[in-house]
Amino acid sequence: LGYQLPQNFNGPYLALSLQDFWRRWHMTLSRWLRDYLYIPLGGSRKGRAKTYRNIMITMLLGGLWHGASWTFVLWGGIHGTALSAERFARERLPGFRLPAWAAWLVTFNVVCVAWVFFRAPDLHTAFAVLGGLGLGGPSPLVTLPLVFLVVASVAIQAVPREWWRDAEAWLVARPVAVQGIAVG
């Protein structure tokens, strides 16, 4: 039909900062939030305090865009707070950089904690899930299959795009039965 759909995700769980995560995650939504909320609010043009305010308003409204629930507000608040904290640290400690593995670990965990609020039906459930993640002792939610699934999900994003294209070309050249088995 002639439509060109823009790329919408680019290995977001490989991000080394929340800012990098939002450049990789739901890129069309991120651009919309930037262009129609953050920049009209003044972006970063009117001083530090207003920049942090604009980040928080943008992320809180981004949360409300997903649904009218306190869980979405908290999700937006977590992202807004983390984005503001990163910006603050970059401004105050310009030469300081965490090692890549530590930056990834912090980013990944902040995103995962935020996802708990995003996916939970209510705040009580969200806090119960967080409590079950080992904050009160051994975690019933962290099992070996779950750890494997998380590691595999993150690792699969590191596979070079050319490999995916080559695999797709190989699969398309196979008989339909082979394609069905491979996809299944």
Residue carrying the six token digits 């996809």: 183
- DSSP one-letter code for 159: S
Residue carrying the six token digits 């640290």: 89
What burial class does residue 126 get, using C-beta atoms within 10 Å of its C-beta: 0-12 exposed, 13-18 middle, 19+ buried? buried
Distances (CA, A) of 146 to 116, 134, 136, 153: 15, 14, 19, 10
User: Can 26 be counted among the known catalytic residues?
Assistant: no
CA distance 118 to 63: 8
- Please tell me which residue in 26, 66, 79, 124 is annotated as part of the active site: 66
Q: Which residues are marked as active site?
A: 66
